[in-house]
Amino acid sequence: MNKCYSLSLMNKKKPEKQRLYMKNKIIFLLIFFNLLIGCKESRKASIPVKTKEVTNNQCLPHLPDNPDLQDEMVLVFADEEIDSVLFSKNELNKIEILFPVFKAKYPSSPNESYAGKSWETYINQDEKEETITFGSEVGRDSFCLLYAYFLRQKNGEQKYKLERKKLTQLYHAVNGLHQALDYGGTYFGHQYERLNADVEYSIYQLPLGKEYYEKKYDFQKQKKLYIQTLLQYVADEESQNGYYQEDLRSNKKRANERTKQLQEKIDILQKLITDYFYLNQVQNFEMTYYK
């Protein structure tokens, strides 16, 4: 009887211990999971926003000013018709670093170069962000003048002096012709500066395509057709120009002066297109910007 009693006591105590053990185990697991979730949340919360900012800043080039070069000015563009364009040597050094497109081994066209990169950000000497931008219309003018400045150094200032002069006159004649037909406009004013980039790009292509431009046939027939096409285009445009038609009726002197002005531009083209290279480049220039 005592044996049975003892067994019954043991059987009663054993389930009670198991329940207590399981209860403690569950409490322990709940505490563990809470701590685990808390650690994950704390790790998420511990990721600072500053880390991303610092990483971005570290990716930007650090370009402190050079006071010794700030007052050293470089003539980028000079022309009798407009003011000269000057940049400090300090700023040019930054531009060379931020815009490698200006000194590319294989330059792309002015339009492609501008589309690829028109602004850049850097860190100055005060550890603050600054931006050099060519985003506005005037900024694009500056971009093209800088493009011409750097590419002129690559092409050779003296080597292509004659070609540069002729191309500049030809492109100005095309721009002036369309400007006169449209009675002016800001677009043509911007083109006056920007076309210098196209001049240098045309010069850059000359030695690369020497065999292509040296045609064995007589190019004069193509030139004649081009001039005739221009003359016809001018005549057609003037036929629907209300101002010009009114001048023909009431102010023939002014109408004749306008006709003379337009003819002078075509005469420049007639005179300076001396081989297929100039014909090809003038046609490309006109098609790119005025058609």
b/e sequence 42-69, b meaning 16+ C-beta within 10 Å: eeeeeeeeeeeeeeeeeeeeebebeeee
C-alpha 284/C-alpha 278 separation (Å) is 10
Cβ atoms within 10 Å of 204's Cβ, excluding its own:
17
Q: What is the dihedral of CA 212, 214, 218, 219, to 10 degrees?
A: 60
Is 132 buried (19+), middle (13-18) or exposed (0-12) by CB count in 10 A? middle
- Give the pLDDT confidence score for residue 1 in this predicted structure: 41
Report the 3 state secondary structure along 31-63: HHHHHHHHHHHHHHHCCCHHHHHHHHHHHCCEC
Angle at which helices 161-181 and 220-239 cross, to 10°: 30
Q: Which two tokens stand for residue 222?
A: 């193509």
Q: Which tokens in the block code for residue 107?
A: 């330059």
- The DSSP 8-state label assigned to residue 122 in this structure reads E
**Predicted local confidence at residue 68, as pLDDT:** 86
Asked if 88 and 71 count as a contact pair (C-beta separation under 8 A), the reply is: yes
In sequence order, what are the beta bridge partners of 129? 123
- CA-to-CA distance for 150 and 156, rounded, in angstroms? 10
Short-list 205, 209, 201, CA closest to 101: 201
pLDDT value for 23: 54
Digitized pLDDT (tens) for each residue of the chain, 291 residues in all: 433 333 333 344 445 555 555 555 555 555 555 555 554 444 443 344 433 344 456 689 999 998 889 889 999 999 887 788 999 999 999 999 999 999 999 999 999 999 987 889 999 999 999 999 999 999 999 999 999 999 999 999 999 999 999 999 999 999 999 999 998 899 999 999 999 999 999 999 999 998 999 999 999 999 999 999 999 999 999 999 988 898 889 998 999 999 999 999 999 999 999 999 999 999 999 999 998
